[in-house]
Amino acid sequence: MKSKPADKIQDLQFFGEFGGVNPSVSDSSTYTFLSAKSMSETFEGNTDGCYLYSRNSSPSNLYLEEALAAMEETESANVFSSGMAAITSSILQICKSNDHIISSRTVYGGTYAFLKNFTPKFNIKTSFVDTSKPDEIIKAITSKTKIIYCEVVSNPLLEVSDIKSIAEIAKKHNIKLVVDNTFSPLSVTPSKLGADIVIHSITKFINGTSDTIAGVVCSTKEFIDQLRDINDGSFMLLGSTMDSLRSSSVLKNLRTLHVRVKKHSENAHYLAKMFKKDGVKTVYPGLQEHPSHDLYQMIINKEYGFGGMLTIDVGTLKKANKLMEKMQKNKIGYLAVSLGFYKTLFCAPGSSTSSEISEAEQKEMGLTEGLIRFSVGLDNDIKRTYEIIRKCMKELKII
């Protein structure tokens, strides 16, 4: 019988040191050797099952990595202390001075700032294009292009990239396709569509409790080994290791991800439909009129729905701020950045999560000032939630 990613995670059965149902946490930074010879062999990287030093790897991190590789259907994975660490380490592992990157213009603000302001210091240049238009990607390719970078579902406008078509372009030109799948874990499996490297900010849906910052790179064993290389691996040498206590806690949260994603999607879809009905400008990939609706439907693992993120446009920043404050007062959720939390989070991306992007560029990509981004929570009774939001909107004369 064919097992899907969630089944593969379910089938992982790790026993703790004393027969515990959760694997033991490795509470050590360094590891002993019974013989001096095996220590030198481990340094040369040719002894399996031996641990040396926890920046290199630790049993707790390996358990989580095995589960995340199963989720993304890749050979291997490496966890990091943040999503940004996973992104920057991957880019710096692949690119050297004089290389070129093609990136979607609607990537996460931190990624955008890294490519726009940081990597040029090492003479690595980036062209920002609309990756939903394959022609624009092809036009931007040069002999120096090493990476095509995009997000499956973009932030905050929730545009979906056609990973399959982009992967074909990348393969043809021998370029690595790096995909950030933070917004759509389990819903989309980019490696099956041809992505070479799949990255997550674990901080968001995968962890789901907004209590830690973490990231992961899922890829071939070859690439993961490169990241970990003690002589020139970016993970190893930049040192953005995840702590063992944290990885053991993330692993437990990962076990409920499939249930959570379905509920986030169900709740977000309901709110999107009702907001639209009320005449509020609503963007949600599950709505028929969303420009990426058909494409998303094609690439999605259907049982997980269209995701927990939606945006509405209430016209002005002032109105957006008033509505968010009112919703917070009415216990709908928190006026906060980030996503994937069990309670609803909302923010105005133009002046927060996407503020690295200049006003002119925001305008060009359709990021309006009255936009509110919702990460819809796991609310038990979403109809009740909607009624409360509706009352807030009425009081502010938004509807």
The residue written with tokens 């950045």 in the block is 337
* C-beta nearest to ligand PLP: residue: 83
In the complex with ligand PLP, the residue whose CB is nearer, 372 or 398, is: 372
d(C-alpha 166, C-alpha 112), whole Å: 19
In the complex with ligand PLP, the residue whose CB is nearer, 204 or 269, is: 204
d(C-alpha 219, C-alpha 133), whole Å: 25
d(C-alpha 32, C-alpha 82), whole Å: 28
Strands 309-313 vs 281-283: parallel, antiparallel or unpaired: antiparallel
CB of 307 to ligand PLP, least distance (A): 12
In the complex with ligand PLP, the residue whose CB is nearer, 108 or 341, is: 108
Q: Is 253 helix (H, G, I), strand (E, B) or coil?
A: helix
CB of 319 to ligand PLP, least distance (A): 25
CB of 188 to ligand PLP, least distance (A): 13
CB of 279 to ligand PLP, least distance (A): 29
As given in the structure block, the two tokens for residue 27 are: 């509470």
In the complex with ligand PLP, the residue whose CB is nearer, 299 or 398, is: 299
In the complex with ligand PLP, the residue whose CB is nearer, 42 or 184, is: 184
CB of 351 to ligand PLP, least distance (A): 17
In the complex with ligand PLP, the residue whose CB is nearer, 124 or 153, is: 153
CB of 182 to ligand PLP, least distance (A): 4
Q: What is the DSSP string of 8-75?
A: HHHT--PPPTTS-SSPPP---SB---SSHHHHHHHHTT--TT---BTTT--HHHHHHHHHHHHHHT-S
In the complex with ligand PLP, the residue whose CB is nearer, 176 or 276, is: 176
User: Residue 232 contacts by C-beta under 8 Å, 6 or more apart in sequence?
Assistant: none
Alpha helices in the chain (DSSP H): 5-10, 36-43, 59-72, 83-94, 109-113, 134-140, 163-172, 221-228, 234-238, 244-254, 257-277, 293-299, 317-329, 359-364, 382-395
Residue numbers at the binding site for ligand PLP (CB under 6 A): 82-84, 108, 110-111, 151, 155, 180, 182-183, 201, 203-204, 213, 215
CB of 14 to ligand PLP, least distance (A): 25
Q: Is 142 helix (H, G, I), strand (E, B) or coil?
A: coil
